[in-house]
Amino acid sequence: MTTLTPAPAPAAADTRGRPAYKVTGPRVLRAEWAKLWSLRSTWITLSLSLALLIALGMIFASTYAPGADARGPGAEAADAVAVALGGLNFAQLAIGVLGVLVMAGEYSTGTIRSTLAAVPTRLPVLWSKVISYGGTAFLTAGVTVFVSFFASGRMLDGTDIALGISSPGVVRALLGAGAYLALVGVLGVALGALIRSVAGGIGLLVTTLMLLPLLTSLLPTTLRDNITPYLPSSAGGSMFALHPASDALSPGAGLAVFAGWVVLALAGAAWRLARSDA
């Protein structure tokens, strides 16, 4: 007679001491922060754009000469803040392009599939990229505009446009410039997520910030004057203007309008990220 011995039951997996990992907002944020600073392009682009902002501010300050016959890039500057921020147009492009790369670069390389597989809810990826890159842009750009102001200010001592840090409106204008550059970076992230193409995102960014004002200038005068203050570049420019033009928005209104454009781009990016496959 044969006795059948039942096979031993498989041993239960010992999970003691093994933490249960969950996808949480802080963990996604840490992962995106690590990815941001592991890219060499982050260091290079940020360093070059901010160094260019300081260098151009100093060049404009060194060439400033009051008078109708003055020549040079800084000859027509209205105040020391305008001189210090003379390179802001170049810096905004670099920061915005890097924002596009932060998001659209993952679509170009295909790594977005791994990212979304790890974070199936998807939207935390977008918010984490916005917080990590937007915060980085605000801190670095904020410090840089103050450095540019002090560096160019030393060259402007004794001129008719010289200002000190305690002069009315100076701190507000410099903080506004830092906030503007940070929002441009967030706009780049949003456009990268919306278009999902590096070339397409950069093209739309340049169109939004630089080509729209040129196209608007072709409109009839009345229509142009009503539209221009609400363009992204015009509204953003009001944020850091020490003395806004009479037909421009106030700094607070400019911040609200430009932030509204950024929120609109983020809403479109979030909708597409949640509704369509990578």
- Residue 72, token pair as written in the block: 């040079």
pLDDT tier for residue 20 given thresholds of 50, 70 and 90: low
Mean pLDDT check: name the lowest of 71-85, 117-131, 152-166. 71-85
- Per cent of the chain over pLDDT 90 is 55
Is the pLDDT assigned to residue 126 strictly greater than 50?
A: yes
Residue 70 is predicted with a pLDDT of: 46
In a domain, 6, yes or no: no
Q: Does the pLDDT of residue 4 top 60, yes or no? A: no
Place 69 in a pLDDT band, splitting at 50, 70 and 90: very low
Q: Is residue 149 part of a domain?
A: yes
pLDDT at 66: 72
As a whole number, mean pLDDT of residues 145-157 equals 92
How many folded domains does the chain comprise? Answer: 1
* Joined tokens for residue 223: 């229509």
187, pLDDT greater than 70: yes
Domain assignment of residue 225, yes or no: yes
DSSP string, 27-87: HHHHHHHHHHHH-HHHHHHHHHHHHHHHHHHHHHHHT---STT--STTTT-SSHHHHHTTT
Instruction: Determine the Cα–Cα distance for residues 226 and 214; give it in Å rounded to an integer.
Output: 15
Q: Which domain holds residue 266?
A: 25-275
Both tokens of 84, joined, read 């210090």
Q: Is residue 3 part of a domain?
A: no
pLDDT at 272: 94
Answer whether 86's CB lies under 8 Å from 74's CB. yes
* Domain-located, residue 126: yes
pLDDT > 70: percent of the chain = 88
pLDDT tens-digit map of 213-232? 898 988 888 888 899 999 99
3-state helix, strand, coil in the chain (%, to 5): 70, 0, 30
Cα(214)–Cα(207) distance, rounded to whole angstroms? Answer: 10
Q: Report the chain's mean pLDDT, rounded to a whole number.
A: 87
Asked if residue 79 lies in contact with residue 171, where contact means CB atoms within 8 angstroms, the answer is no
Question: Does 19 fall in a domain?
Answer: no
**In the block, which residue shows the tokens 């044969």?**
2
